[in-house]
Structure 1
Amino acid sequence: MATQHTYRVIVRGVWDGLTDEARTRLLAEVADHGLDQLRFTPEGALSYDRALKRFTYRFVVLSDAEDGEEMAVALAEDRAETALRALGCGHRDLRSTATDMDAMKINRKGR
């Protein structure tokens, strides 16, 4: 059995071709998706601002360590695209970064 690692993945993109209905819905919910709501979740946490130019999704992804960050990014981007389709929101220019939380080194200061 392969070792699973926990990845934090940030997926960034640009809104594209938003319908009037989607724009109205996003603006009505903008307070629920601001900077104070940033967190990493398996379902993804969407954040954007009133300008409706760019958005960010933050995911926690469990993936086999041997598949590396590339697989975690692919899984997160697929989740983001699925969620955006469900919202009826067009997008483009997805780019992502992943951090392997199990491989991070923590520097603790001596007491």
Structure 2
Amino acid sequence: MWMSRAVRVTVRGSFDGLSEAQMASLVAVAGEHDFMNTQYTAEGYLAYDLPGRPFFTFRFAEEAADADEVPQAAVRAQIKAEEWMAERGYPIKNVTVQAVDMAEVPLGKRGRREASRQ
């Protein structure tokens, strides 16, 4: 049976020289992009805090067949984020990517207790 590994990918960067119209457009829908939300989705969850800060974060839920494929999941997420921004004409810079293989994250006390019940 093939099992995949859950990978959480965070893509961060900065908006770079948004026009007034672009800024207004993003600010108008800012409630849908709450920076305090830590939701990871297949489509990617975009968060920002404009006009206060020029930074954005995309959170993606990706999958990898094994640990060796985690870097590829990170690249896929980065491409999705960059394409999303490019399709809307938002210039960005200083893009960084962090991927976490959830199979490698140690279980906390509650997680160990729940795992022992199964």
Which range, TM-score by smaller chain? Answer: 0.7 to 0.9
Q: 2:34 aligns to what?
A: 34
Structure 2 length normalisation: TM-score?
Answer: 0.81
Query: Which structure 1 residue ranges, 5 or more long, are not aligned?
Result: none
Q: Which moved more, 1:16-25 or 1:64-73?
A: 64-73
CA distance in 2, matches of 1:54, 1:38: 15
Match of 2:22, SS state, is helix
Structure 1 length normalisation: TM-score?
Answer: 0.85
The alpha-carbon distance between structure 1 residues 23 and 96, as it changes in their structure 2 partners (threshold 3 A), is: same
1:70 partner amino acid: P
CA distance in 2, matches of 1:38, 1:48: 12
Residue 6 in 1 paired to residue 16 in 2? no
Deviation of 1:38 (Å): 3.0
Q: Are the equivalent residues in 2 in contact too, given 1:15–1:52 (CA < 8 A)?
A: no
Q: Are the equivalent residues in 1 in contact too, given 2:4–2:63 (CA < 8 A)?
A: yes
Deviation string 1:23-77 (CA, Å, 9 cap, x unpaired) is 1110111122113433000000000002241000000011231433311211110
Match of 1:37, SS state, is coil
Match of 2:109, SS state, is coil
Match of 1:26, SS state, is helix
The alpha-carbon distance between structure 1 residues 17 and 35, as it changes in their structure 2 partners (threshold 3 A), is: closer
Residue 58 in 1 paired to residue 59 in 2? yes
CA distance in 2, matches of 1:15, 1:84: 9
Higher Cα Rg, which structure: 2
Q: Are the equivalent residues in 2 in contact too, given 1:48–1:56 (CA < 8 A)?
A: yes
Query: Which structure 2 residue ranges, 5 or more long, are not aligned?
Result: 114-118
Count residues with an aligned counterpart: 111
Q: 1:78 aligns to what?
A: 79
